[in-house]
Chains A and B, each alone.
Chain A
Amino acid sequence: MKRIFMYLSRTKKEAILAPLFKMLEVVFELLVPVIVSLIINKGINEGGQSDLKFIFLMCGILFAFGILGLLSSVTAQYFAAVASSKLQSALRTDLLKKINSLEYKELDDVGTASLITRMSSDVNQVTTGVNMALRLLLRSPIVIIGAVIVAFFFSNLAGITFLITVPVLFLLIFLVMVFTIPLFKKSQQKLDVVVRLSRENLNGVRVIRAFNKQEAEIEKFNKTNDKLAKYQLFVGKISNIINPLTFALINIFIIALIYVGALQVDVGSLENGDVVALYNLASQILVEMVKFATLLVTMSKSLASNKRIEQIFSIKSNLKHLDVIDKINTDDLFVFDNVSMSYNGQEMALNNISFKVKKGQMIGIIGGTGSGKTTLVNLIPHFYDISEGKIYYKGLNLLNYDEKTLRFEIAVVPQKSQLFKGTIRDNLKLGNLAADDETLYNALKISQGYDFVMAKDGGLSYPVEQEGRNFSGGQKQRLTIARALVKQSDILILDDSSSALDFKTESELRKGLKKLNKTIFIVSQRTASLRACDQIIVLDKGHMAGLGTHEELLKSSQIYREIYFSQYKEEKDETL
Chain B
Amino acid sequence: MQDHAAAISHSGDLGRVLARRERRFAAALLAPAFVALLATTTFPLLFLIGTSTFRMDLAMPFADGFVGLENYRTLLADDRFWSSLLISLVYTASTVVLQVALGLALALLVMDMKRGQGWFRVIAILPVVLSPAVVGMIWRTFMLAPEFGIVDYLAINAGLGSKNWLGDPTLAMVSVIIIHTWQWTPFAFMVLLASLASLPEDIYEAARLDRASAWQRFRRITLPLLRPAIVMVVIMRTMVALTAFAAIFTVTGGGPGTATEILNLYAYRKSFTELSIGYGSALAVALLVVTILISGVLFALRRAK
The answer to whether A and B come from one shared complex is no
State the B residues within 8 Å of A (CB).
none
